[in-house]
Amino acid sequence: MYIWYVLAVFFILLIASNVYDIQQEKKKAERNLFKKQLLTPSGKEMFDRLRQVVPDGYIFVKVPYTDLFDNRKKNPKEKARLHFRFVGCCIDFVVCDAKLNPICLIKFDETEMEKKKLKKLTSEEVFAESGYHFIRYKSKNKPSVEQLTADIFPPKEKPADKAEDKPADKKAEDKPATPKSPEKEAAAK
């Protein structure tokens, strides 16, 4: 009778083992990774507007901060600290000209993770230090094509009027200045 209990336990363990193996194979067959859209619908809308503003240029999306900076620190610890400070932070759009030179960087609101990583520095300070033209927009208020054009290609400053440099007397302007001889200067005194 004792042998029947041992055989029953053995068969129960055998069945449980087979069920467990079947479940593991199903889990392996299930896909855990799926493709997703690179841009959200609002990101696609912004991309289309940027294409209208810069038809001959290139627009790159979700570019990591670390790809935009050249870290020239000599100390390896400082270099690594600065590098890891920016890991995981991305610029939403990088607008480049036809020669792939960056024209400007466009960023929507920072995520909480980026705020924690950057700590006291803001993106504006980081990009101003590196020499990039940086534009930030609120994700709720998307700019129009006209506003994007004005922000990406700001009007160049006009030279100040040179009214201050012009002489007030037109007669002095009409006559060319003639050098005075030493005799005429002595006679004038």
Residue 61 domain-assigned? yes
Residue 124 domain-assigned? yes
Low-confidence ranges of the chain (pLDDT < 70): 29, 31, 73, 110-123, 156-189
Residue 72 domain-assigned? yes
**Residue 188's pLDDT is what?**
52
Residue 174 domain-assigned? no
Burial class, 147, CB count within 10 angstroms (exposed 0-12 / middle 13-18 / buried 19+)? middle
Q: Is 88 helix (H, G, I), strand (E, B) or coil?
A: coil
Residue 53 domain-assigned? yes
Number of structural domains (the chain) is 1
**Residue 76's pLDDT is what?**
80
Residue 31 domain-assigned? no
**Residue 26's pLDDT is what?**
77
Q: Positive or negative, the Cα torsion across 29, 33, 36, 38? A: negative
**Residue 116's pLDDT is what?**
65
**Residue 95's pLDDT is what?**
94
Domain extent, residue 125, equals 41-150
**Residue 169's pLDDT is what?**
46
**Residue 165's pLDDT is what?**
46
Residue 33 domain-assigned? no
**Residue 157's pLDDT is what?**
53
CA 82, CA 157: separation in Å to the nearest integer? 35
pTM over 0.75: no
Q: Positive or negative, the Cα torsion across 49, 51, 52, 53? A: positive
Residue 130 domain-assigned? yes
Distances (CA, A) of 184 to 179, 187, 188: 10, 5, 6
